[in-house]
Structure 1
């Protein structure tokens, strides 16, 4: 294409740009509106202390959402993230407690060993999801739904209705400590977000994730081992959930059955509300960050304006529904534009 041809080409209109970027613009506009509304409605909302509170509240969800972003970008879903987090948090408490003994020395496991064993367990659960999807061919929705029950069963067997309080010191520090006034759990979230962004943006594996999610058949023809990529993202999701579970247990101060059940919807909502496509291939960690902020501001702001708790659940559901509608509508607009040759 010559320089003259480039000059002669019409520039995309504002309407075209908005249609193409609706998935990214809508979540940011929603976040801006929520911040303005709650700042005007409650003087205690727009403060530095409350900002730190919001970041702390979204940290556990955010770490889970990082792993889910990889999975959803591939056009799959992981419904077991909350159950895996719960099982891992309980496992690290169980291995640290006086009930778990090294068979030879008859002493409790050291903290580092309990952490490693718990993370290995989270990775194994993710690996089982991966093998079910890639080798057996079970759809990820069904496979991870079964894993959700398996992980819940593991949690029930370990605690047997009791509450465990013992966790390694390093996990306690990360979950409830701070550095220069910044909670360690927020620092941990930032590290996961940065690493996730770098992997998806600047590595070959990240490009393959987008290729598999965008067009799996074309990715296979290009020589990408799609099964390896799909298996890897499910293992990543399992490990992220495991880390979130350990940090959450330390932050809450105890490990108990069904402790993370509400985090499944929140972590999926953070990815989807942020604008990552449910159909795969479009989205980023940046979108997930915006989605996390929307949920964090919404939940925290509703507490500040003293909205009825039942109405709060309804509002969250309506916002998630709106995000799903925008997600599907944006995909249709892009498909239509592709047919017309506009993209």
Structure 2
């Protein structure tokens, strides 16, 4: 009897270790989030309050909208470096054409701004379509293609505002960016809707399954009849539209549209997806991981403000956490490869 128990105990330990290794990229971000919450709650009495929870959600909302589209791209083992530039360009297009509507309004009739909203949405869709065409039809690596789009977006911004600041936005966008539904800001609601829809599409639709298939094994997806190029083109456009929406709402949230306004959001949105545990190699992760990554970054940034740490040190700490997430990401991929390799 004792021999059997001993054998069972020995067999259980490797099974548990294999289970933990297989879920390392999901467990590590969650433990990091718990550690940060406990640490900052002890370090600062003002951190663990209901009002501060609202502040954190408000602060990560714009990043969350961008990160939804970027999650789709990274799940396909691609990258989009143009998200911040597309957001900036779309926000400036919105403000620019809202201003043009105002100038054209010689009859003194209130302008609803729908034309500006539609033009802004069309512009981000077009920028995403250019990315999609370059990646799927010409064969340009997504890293290079979206790096070029980053410059194109910056050029559009410079051409429209010419170093000036625009303040006009349509009333609908102003409401979404600045007002609240009871105690909940509309920008938080918009972010929650994008995260929810993004999760439902990935989890319960055929397109979501195709995204995971393309990221997990592109050749196998092709043999299964999946139109890989169409899926890749779709995720590039989804990323651009999410970024454009974030840019429009962000312009109202910040109260103005100007060049380089969203530059810092490139690193933030990529960090949220990677820190949350979505694999850079594609096929693993999802919106749930991105939510955890967003909360890790939001709690970290907010908590560091509460303990009055040096602003330059904050940048270093964020970089170290991103590096740790990348190391875990690579290590988790190697563990999965080792487990799936046939035994000799």
TM superposition score normalised by structure 1: 0.94
Does structure 1 residue 169 correspond to structure 2 residue 152? no
Q: CA deviation at 1:98?
A: 4.1
Runs of at least 5 residues in structure 1 that lack an aligned partner in the other structure:
1-8
1:293 corresponds in structure 2 to 295
Q: Which residues of 2 match residues 42-53 of structure 1 at below 5 A?
A: 42-53=44-55
Equivalent residue for 2:96, pick from 89, 94, 97: 94
Q: CA deviation at 1:113?
A: 1.2
Does structure 1 residue 134 correspond to structure 2 residue 124? no
1:303 corresponds in structure 2 to 305
Following the alignment from structure 2 to structure 1, what is the Cα–Cα distance between the partners of residues 139 and 317? Answer: 37
Following the alignment from structure 1 to structure 2, what is the Cα–Cα distance between the partners of residues 119 and 77? Answer: 21
2:263 corresponds in structure 1 to 261
2:16 corresponds in structure 1 to 14
CA contact (8 A) 2:101 2:113 kept: no
Q: CA deviation at 1:100?
A: 7.1
Aligned-pair RMSD on alpha carbons?
1.9
2:273 corresponds in structure 1 to 271
Q: CA deviation at 1:11?
A: 9.3
Call closer, same or farther: CA 1:101–1:125 in 2, change over 3 Å: farther
Does structure 1 residue 33 correspond to structure 2 residue 35? yes
CA contact (8 A) 2:203 2:209 kept: yes
Q: CA deviation at 1:110?
A: 4.0
Following the alignment from structure 1 to structure 2, what is the Cα–Cα distance between the partners of residues 16 and 260? Answer: 41
CA contact (8 A) 1:102 1:109 kept: no
Equivalent residue for 1:247, pick from 229, 246, 249: 249
Following the alignment from structure 1 to structure 2, what is the Cα–Cα distance between the partners of residues 112 and 330? Answer: 47
Query: What per-residue deviation string (whole Å, max 9, x for no partner) do you get for residues 76-127 of structure 1?
Result: 0000000000000111000101477669999996411111110110000000
Describe the SS at the equivalent of 1:97.
helix
Describe the SS at the equivalent of 2:130.
helix
Call closer, same or farther: CA 1:165–1:226 in 2, change over 3 Å: same
CA contact (8 A) 2:105 2:111 kept: no
1:119 corresponds in structure 2 to 121
**Runs in 1 of length 4+ with deviation above 3 angstroms?**
9-12, 98-110
Q: CA deviation at 1:43?
A: 0.5
Query: What per-residue deviation string (whole Å, max 9, x for no partner) do you get for residues 163-184 of structure 1?
Result: 0000001101100100011000
Following the alignment from structure 2 to structure 1, what is the Cα–Cα distance between the partners of residues 90 and 280? Answer: 27
Call closer, same or farther: CA 1:227–1:107 in 2, change over 3 Å: farther
2:57 corresponds in structure 1 to 55
2:8 corresponds in structure 1 to none
